[in-house]
Structure 1
Amino acid sequence: MDKPIGHCHCLTCQKAHAAAFATTAGVLREDYRWLRGEEKLSSYQSSPGKLRHFCAICGSQLIAARTGQAHFIVRVASLDQDPGARPAKHIWTSHDRPWLTCD
């Protein structure tokens, strides 16, 4: 992974994943490849210049990409194998919703 694994608490991730946060990591485009299923991808623009790619069959969010960025944003929970790293940060925690936090 090019960028550390982190938990994103932004409102867009909360809505897109129907969860309190999304666990993501950055991977350089040249280090990323689809093994199978690329033809089943669909996408939408969630904010200007950012495409979210998901499986058109099951709806799972898989990656996101911003125009001009050198990396993809991988949805770590969609991986089948342990990436060998653990989350290192939480971002956009100011967007946390009180009914989604736990003690």
Structure 2
Amino acid sequence: MGDCGDLHGSCLCGGIRYRAALPVFHASHCYCSMCQKQHGAAAGSYANVASAGLVIEQGAQLVTEYASSDDGRRDFCRVCGSTLFWRSTASPDRIAIALGTLEPEYSGPVERELFVENKPAWLPCG
């Protein structure tokens, strides 16, 4: 999951590169309608880490924030649109990193599923 005790990742166009300090507090699949819309997928999949350990190594000027609700902020690349981070205004000490942006891919467990009542019927069984 990265060297030097860090996770590493980037957006689709490579304009933004980041690292985040371990540990991962938990990883989750969120099936809320906002995550589904933002990701264009069944869920938003995230690793929850300490926000103090997140460093944008390249392309900080490309990170764009969208206030999707009073409680949530979503960060994405303004060039390619890649979803990068989700933050709760109630928990500024944590940040959720989109698992699909990690390099190498995340190898830890996903312990939580959120808003399972919104899990799409078209997902495969099992």
What TM bracket, shorter-length normalisation?
A: 0.7 to 0.9
CA contact (8 A) 2:48 2:95 kept: yes
Number of aligned pairs? 102
Moved over 6 A (4+): none
Q: Equivalents in 1 of 2:103, 2:55: separation in Å?
A: 14
Task: State how far apart, in whole Å, the 2-side matches of 1:6 and 1:55 are.
Answer: 22
Q: How much has 1:15 moved relative to structure 2?
A: 0.8
Contact kept in structure 1, 2:70 and 2:89, CA below 8 Å = no
Q: How is 1:37-76 mapped onto 2 (pairs within 5 angstroms)?
A: 37-69=59-91, 70-76=93-99
Higher relative contact order (CA 8 A, sep 6+): 1
CA shift for structure 1 position 9: 1.0
Provide the TM-score with structure 1 as the length reference: 0.87
Task: Say what the alpha-carbon RMSD is for the aligned residues.
Answer: 1.5
Q: Which has the higher helix share?
A: 1
Give the gaps of 5 or more residues in structure 1: none
Deviations 1:22-79 (A, max 9, x none): 1112110111111211111111111113110000010001001122411111111111
Structure 2: distance between partners of 1:57 and 1:76: 19
> Percent sequence identity over matched residues?
24
SS in 2 for 1:15: helix
Which residue of the partner structure matches residue 79 of structure 1? 102
- Answer with 24-33 or 1-10: which moved more: 1-10
TM-score by length of 2: 0.73
